Copies of this chain bind each other. A is one copy, B any other.
Amino acid sequence: MTILLYDLVGRDPARPYSPHCWKTAMSLAHKGLDFHSVPTTFIEVPNVEGGVSKTIPVIRDGETVVADSFQIALYLDEAYPDRPTLFGGEGGKAMARFIERWSQLTIHPYLGAAALMDIFAYQDNDNLAYFRESREARFGKKLEDVSAIRDAGLAAFRASLEPLRSMLGYQPFIGGKGPLFADYIVFGAFQWVRVTSPYPYLASDDPVAEWFERCLDLHGGLARKVTAEAAA
């Protein structure tokens, strides 16, 4: 049976962009499971599956509804143990949590601020006001002022990726020879800005950019099929 993925979209329903929904799309593809993406904008999230979660991704797999990309990955490995693992054992399950926290605390704050105006511009008309109000309340300043850090923060952001960059000198994926959920955790953040923003967050000769390209090739190029945002 096809799994439903409630997938965050903006003005283009064919180009989902949420970092967390991308973690789940890649997880489903990794497990080789058929899934159907249900385009969902911010203001539609409260109605997803009777309001089961304040955020998406949410999946429905038959009678089972699961929210949160990490919980979904755990569910998929437990429900489909005969398909390729997302964690590579109990140690990988535990350490993926460290990587999730590292990604959320190292990568997301800069990208979320730097790309904020692009993500705003990516909303459809019905979501523009919601996005501006909710984000300006969260940051305590105007969107335009938040994303003004983009250029000044770029060098420090690229430097903060050094643990990942250095690790890529040992192995091609965070998961080792092949990708695991830990790769999709970090991949989601860069796919978020690839789909919404033409800004060069990574230098093209950065090993991190080369790893990202390898991720775009995975699972029949699932993530590459969604085109990158072009410069205006």
Contacts and interface: CB of A to CB of B under 8 A. Distances in A.
B98 A87 contact: no
Interface string A72-99: 0000000000000101111111111111
A101 interface: yes
Nearest to A70: B170
Interface in A169-210: 170-171, 173-177, 180, 182
Given A101-B166, A105-B163, A163-B106, A182 B95 contact: yes
A98 B94 CA distance: 13
A175 B91 contact: yes
Contact of A92 (B89, B162, B170): B89
A176 B40 CA distance: 34
Interface size bucket, A side?
A: 20 to 34
A213 to B, nearest CB: 19
A91 B180 contact: yes
Contact of A91 (B88, B101, B104, B105): B88
A225 to B, nearest CB: 27
Contacts of A226: none
Nearest to A98: B167
Contacts of A164: 98, 101
Interface in A133-185: 162-164, 166-167, 170-171, 173-177, 180, 182
A102 interface: yes
Interface of A: 85, 87-99, 101-102, 104-106, 162-164, 166-167, 170-171, 173-177, 180, 182
Given A101-B167, A104-B166, 18 more contacts: A87-B89, A88-B89, A89-B89, A90-B176, A91-B96, A94-B175, A94-B177, A95-B96, A95-B99, A95-B180, A95-B182, A97-B170, A98-B99, A98-B163, A98-B164, A98-B174, A98-B182, A102-B102
- The 5 closest A-B CB pairs, nearest first, are A89-B89, A91-B92, A88-B91, A94-B176, A95-B95
25 contacts: A85-B91, A88-B91, A88-B93, A88-B94, A91-B92, A91-B176, A92-B94, A92-B95, A93-B176, A94-B173, A95-B98, A95-B99, A95-B174, A95-B180, A97-B167, A98-B99, A98-B163, A98-B164, A98-B174, A98-B182, A101-B162, A102-B102, A102-B163, A104-B166, A105-B162
